[in-house]
Structure 1
Amino acid sequence: MARSAAASPFSPDPLAVHNRLLGERGEAIAARHLVRGGMVLLDRNWRCEAGEIDLVLRDGHVLVICEVKTRTSTDYGDPLEAVDQRKADRLRRLGARWLRTHDCHPDDIRIDMVGVLAPPGRPVEVEHVEGIG
């Protein structure tokens, strides 16, 4: 009996797996970049029912909520173009939730963005923007 070439409904979507792995790689690259720049990594991939924060860091007395966007090319735009005002506002709400959950009282809170461009076979580019939105 011949087997169908169709994927099982229980098998993962290869594109979704690729994107998840690319995102994880980009977050690791961004975390290393920011820590090398003097920040302290406090949390990674913090989740609640309202969403997820990629990275939570401390930059001196400032708590930094950081969104990381990773791309292999700029065919669909620069990674930094992926965060609009609505996403920045959502990150601000998630940051306030993280603070309450961790009973943390920093002097200030900042929303940052890191764009990671990781083209196959070429050097990775990292761009960090402080204080978006």
Structure 2
Amino acid sequence: MGRLGESAVVAYCESKGWRILARNWRVLQGELDIIVQDADCVAAVEVKTRRGMAYGSPFEAITPLKMQRLRKLLGIWASIHSFSVTRLRVDAASVLVNHDDTLKIDYLQGVFND
């Protein structure tokens, strides 16, 4: 189900004209779901996919500590790839899979900015 949500968010980002730089990028310190370029900004997109709200909003799974880790990972990614941009940011995407298998995407841009 996670791949379904990530693919839907990739399509959402591409529809905004953003360039997908990486998916499921991993290093020892952790993983970034999606990395996009939005003009002069590179963003790490954390995607949370759920089938309903029984365990709360998908956004609730993204703690402040998780946000800090994502920001650190994005900095590592940018330095490894010698990617020079004006800004780095962390975005969050919530994907709810409805009973009829349609998807509802909520996207928060810049939940952690540099």
Q: Is this a same-fold pair by TM over 0.5?
A: yes
1:94-133: CA deviations, max 9, x gaps?
A: 0011011101111100100000001231421000001114
Structure 1, gaps ≥5 residues long: 1-21
| Letter aligned with residue 73 of structure 2 | L
Matched length: 112
| Structure 2 counterpart of 1:52, one-letter code | E
Q: Which residue number in structure 2 is paired with residue 16 of structure 1?
A: none
User: Cα deviation per residue 1:29-74 (whole Å; 9 max; x = unaligned)?
Assistant: 0110111012110100000000000000001110011100000111
TM-score under structure 1 length normalisation: 0.81
Of residues 87, 90, 106, the one that matches 1:127 is: 106
Give the conservation status (yes or no) of the 8 Å contact 1:71–1:119.
Answer: no
- Counterpart of 1:34, as a letter, is C
Matched residues in 1 for 2:88 and 2:65: separation?
Answer: 17
The alignment status of 1:93 with 2:85, answered yes or no, reads no
Corresponding residue of 1:9: none
Using the size of structure 2 for normalisation, the TM-score is 0.94
RMSD of the TM alignment (CA)? 0.9
Is 1:118 the equivalent of 2:82? no
Say which of 36, 41, 55 aligns to 1:62. Answer: 41
Q: Distance in 1 between matches of 2:111 and 2:96?
A: 19
Which residue matches 1:10?
Answer: none
Q: Share of identical aligned residues, percent?
A: 31
Larger Rg: 1
CA separation in 2, counterparts of 1:74 and 1:39? Answer: 29
Aligned to 2:12: 33
